[in-house]
A = this chain, B = another copy of it.
Amino acid sequence: MKYGARNKITATVKSVKKGDIMSLIKFDVSQPIEMASVLTTESLDDLDLKAGDMVQLVVKAIHVLPVKE
């Protein structure tokens, strides 16, 4: 299985909340992971990031795709 995406995170389901059309799942990720972000080079220059800097990675839940292999 190979995905055309940089972020692949092994996780365990913690809770499920079912709605009429959309549902919300919470997961635990217990091991250290690597993540990746693509942004405009302009935004990168504004952030002025270099190795070792600490950031918050914000991801809307709608952009997280669970896959059961």
A→B interface (CB under 8 Å): 1-44, 46-69
Copies per assembly: 6
Chain A facing B: main interface SS: strand
Q: Considering only CB atoms, which chain B residue lies closest to A46 in the complex?
A: B2
Taking CB atoms, residues of chain B closer than 8 Å to A10 are: 54-57
Q: Is A38 a contact partner of B53 (Cβ separation < 8 A)?
A: no
> 16 new A-B pairs (CB below 8 Å) besides A19-B21, A56-B66, A57-B65?
A3-B43, A3-B47, A3-B58, A5-B43, A5-B60, A21-B41, A24-B36, A26-B34, A26-B36, A27-B57, A29-B32, A29-B34, A37-B61, A37-B65, A37-B66, A38-B40
